[in-house]
Amino acid sequence: MKKIIIIATVVFAYSCGDPKPGYTIDGLPLPVDSAVSGIYAIKDTGNLEKVPSQEGIECSYVGDFEAVNSKPERIYFYKNKINISVDSIRNTKVFGHSVVAGNQRPFTGTCELKNGIYSITATEPGDDKYDGKFTFNLDANALTVEGTWKANNSKLEVNERKYKLKKAQFVYSVDNILPEALSGEIVSQWNEISKLEESAGEGEMITADAMKINTSTEKLKKEDIENMYKGDLELMRNAIYARHGYSFKNRKMRYIFDNLIDWYIPYTTDVRNDLTALEKENIALIKRYEEHASRYYDNYGR
């Protein structure tokens, strides 16, 4: 999957309406935001001709994925950031995928257009325990998506969510940095969550030191990080993945980037082929010091 790279003023950008070569449904090209090749197993789709008025809406919509029913003490479950991509609308058929909480899932369904509003009902395949059904309205003028999701498994701790999303285009940029104010917010908010949930453990120390180095542009030396807290190292390393739109399974990193980083958009669950040579070198160095930072270890469980 190709990425967008912004360095200085040079931009290589995704266009929501451009076809992605080789990715098709019954021979018809899918837009560039479509999930990986082969993710759709569509049969008997018929004559799926594209309607010109649908140009511009086949893109990603990003925002909060909020629990409808959640116990207050499970606050870290309450809200994640979701990316719902409407990959293709052909007549009344809809194809898309979602990226949230380290999971990327396709969906297919139907839609009805009335007064510029697409009423869409779509289902995920059902072979994952977190699969469910999306019901939402896509406003073709405001470029927003609003609706609900219900899990197939009603026994899940959070089995229903709501969302109101805005059209958003993922862009990889080395200029996406961690804000200086982040350290205080993480410490106070994550530690409060940790008190309410035993499995969360005690929050690792995170300081302003983690915000001083851009790990996607600066080549790290051991002298830069050898005396840093493990929590700082963990955040610096994961900031690289976040710039590439990686959707985190790690609960702590997901909480931080979903809730506290404005530029972050969950886009994919695999960024291994997208990392730059510099980023790979920095990740390897940071990992070595994370693994041997026993002086700064605390009880946070992974």
* DSSP 3-state of 14: coil
Report how far residue 68's alpha carbon sits from residue 154's, in angstroms, rounded to the nearest whole number: 13
Q: Is 5 inside any structural domain?
A: no
How far apart CA 48 and CA 270 sit, in angstroms, is: 30
Question: Within a domain: residue 1?
Answer: no
pTM over 0.85: no
Residues 145 and 229 in one domain: no
Residues 149 and 254 in one domain: no
104, 164, 180 from 302: Cα distances, Å: 21, 31, 25
Instruction: Give the pLDDT score at 6.
Output: 39
- Backbone φ and ψ for 58, nearest 5 degrees, come out as -85, 80
Find the CATH number of the domain harbouring 124.
Answer: 2.40.160
Same structural domain, 234 and 150: no
Q: What is the pLDDT of residue 229?
A: 87
Note the pLDDT of residue 205: 72
The Cα–Cα gap between 112 and 93 comes to 9
26 and 119 assigned to the same domain: yes
| Domain final position from 168, 188, 223 | 168
Residue 247, C-beta contacts closer than 8 angstroms, at least 6 positions apart: 83, 99, 100, 101, 102, 103, 104, 254, 266, 267, 268, 269
Domain of residue 225 covers 174-296
Q: Specify the number of domains making up the chain.
A: 2
42: in domain: yes
- Side-chain-side CA neighbours of 185 within 13 Å: the count stands at 13
At CA 4, angle to CA 276 and CA 34, rounded to 5?
A: 115
Q: Is residue 6 included in any domain, yes or no?
A: no
Residues 28 and 141 in one domain: yes
**Tell me, what's the pLDDT at 38?**
31
In a domain, 81, yes or no: yes
Say if residue 98 is in the same domain as residue 193: no
Q: Which of 138, 168, 198 marks a domain boundary?
A: 168
Domain presence at residue 292: yes
Taken in order 249, 41, 109, 4, the sign of the CA dihedral is: positive
Side-chain-side CA neighbours of 175 within 13 Å: the count stands at: 9
219 & 235 share domain: yes
Q: Could you tell me the mean pLDDT of each successive run of 10 residues in the chain, 302 residues long?
A: 40 36 38 36 40 72 90 65 96 96 97 95 96 98 97 91 96 93 67 52 71 96 92 94 96 89 96 97 94 50 26
In a shared domain, residues 33 and 116: yes
Structural domain ending residue among the three candidates 142, 168, 194: 168
Residue partners of 255: CB distance under 8 A and separation at least 6? 76, 189, 190, 193
Q: Say whether both 156 and 185 belong to one domain.
A: no
Measure the CA–CA gap between 177 and 239, rounded to whole angstroms: 8
For residue 203, how many other CB atoms are within 10 A of its CB?
21
Same domain? 95 vs 215: no
DSSP designation for 221: -
What pLDDT is recorded for position 54? Answer: 59
